[in-house]
Structure 1
Amino acid sequence: MDLPRRSVPDRLATQAAEWVARHDLGTVDPAAFEEWRGRSPAHALAFARAYAAWEKVGSGIGLDAEQGGARADLSFSRRAMMRAAGAAGLIVLAGGGMAVSRAYAWDRVETGIGETRKLRLPDGSLLALNTDSSVAWRVKGGKRILRLERGEMALEVSPKGPPLLLEGEDVKISLTSGLFNARLMPGGIDVMVLRGEARSAGQAEGSDLRPEAAGAYRMLSLTDAGPRISPASELQVAATLAWQSGEILFQDEPLSAAIGEYNRYLERKIVIADPALGAIRVGGRFTSTDPTIFFEALDATLDIQASPSDEGFLLTRKNN
């Protein structure tokens, strides 16, 4: 059972983000889109805002306009149609103080739980870190190496230089200039390509696995078992946009998975008291660092209450 959106504007924001993703993926039904957008001024405004956010991602996450470049993966006609439907704008990646340290010729930056950071690297690339993340980098001797040590990041790779080598635990990926989202997963790393190309650069020493390359709107998943390439779904693209604007997006997911995702952003963790509750399907768009509205939705539609505990919040069935 899906949770209700926080409000009509929030529901429209989710729908608008999905329409933008369909435009960019080339799967949009123009008639259906025009019908949706024409339902009310609120629908048109929601799409304009979503398109403004996507324009910011498409042209880079904060680089100078000339570095954003033309998006080779997006046809002029599709881009023109989107421009006609929306207006230019900005995704805000929350900034803040930066704690950068130098150790063993590597620079490093990290975020705490619930924090995001952004930073321009020495080669001109732009890095944005999600909650509870850590990355180290080295630019030396014509080589660009970035090591994702924990968490998730968005990365705009500058065209000034050779391909950038992204390292995870025992895996390496070569990135051309472009726009990417990378997240460490148990046993490997997932890289979503929004622009450019990601190519597996090798596994552990002695591996005979062949490299694989992923282009725009593809996901490259790399583990010790080898690379796997899959299409980036509209929901995955929308979820990537969501974290970059301080939100979290669920769509028909088990409550246990939704809680696991939410807990990435919370110092005080959410615990499901009854394991049977974890299988209930939920959906919605919420603020990532404040679960208050999420709890209210659980209470109103699923009779699940959130009670404060010593370490966080406990989810239980309401007593009838």
Structure 2
Amino acid sequence: MVFSKWRQALGGQVKAIITGASACPVRVMRTFNAAGIPVREGYGMTEAAPAISFSRMEPEGALLGTVGPLLDGVEVMLEPSSEFSPGEGEILAKSPGIMMGYYKQPDKTAEVIRYINGERWLATGDVGAWVEGPGGRKFLKITDRKKELLKTSQGKYVAPAPLEAALKEHFLVEQAMVVGDDLRYVTALIIPSQEGLRSWCERHGIAWTELSEMLRLPEVQRRYEMLLERINAHFARHEQIKRFTLLDCLWEPAKADGTEAELTPTLKLKRRVILEKFRREIEAMYR
């Protein structure tokens, strides 16, 4: 009944939803798929038209958490590095759709075009891995942005995207950013889902006042600690989130007051902006 209302709200004729630009939470895709509205992710960039990989509508053509098999005519090589986990590498792509270069910017072009054994490859700056799907088919999984890898003061590399994705899949979390570059351990800034937290409070007999007050309650803090304990169990010790701060705000792609936004137009985190805006909260997690 609920799902039929979803389909009707989308016009009643929707066959599928295509998503890109940033990762779609698996929980969201699973819910829409169950509603009879298939969601498919693709991966590409302007420099590699029309795309690099794409999840198909055909049987066994999609695998949740990946961006699908490669398009016909596209080749991908994963370039390993000590910065990445085993099996991961920077995604290098080769196809007839790879750009000739940035207009009148040969230096910038040279930064992303690699010649390997006489072949021309595009260095995407994304980190990925292969995942074996149904029938042994290879699916590409994006694990992080190369430039976004954190390196703690202990010399350990941490990919923030998987941690942030795990947090945002939970109904209690609206937004999150992992911190830890050149710091002793990994922490997180978490913006709770007001709707999710309100629902949890109602189920546990906690009277709701306003979000800022609710975030200070020991019961609420403990609930988020439990969430982190469950998430941390899936990550290596040096990757685990040791401390967190709950924020009473919302990161946006545009601010009404004219200040710098925390998100890009495609809703990616502006990490530098967030680090600066919440410097005091971050410093408190390392005292």
TM-score for the superposition, normalised by structure 1: 0.26
Say which structure is richer in strand. Answer: 1
Higher relative contact order (CA 8 A, sep 6+): 1
Please report the TM-score for the alignment, with normalisation by the length of structure 2. Answer: 0.28
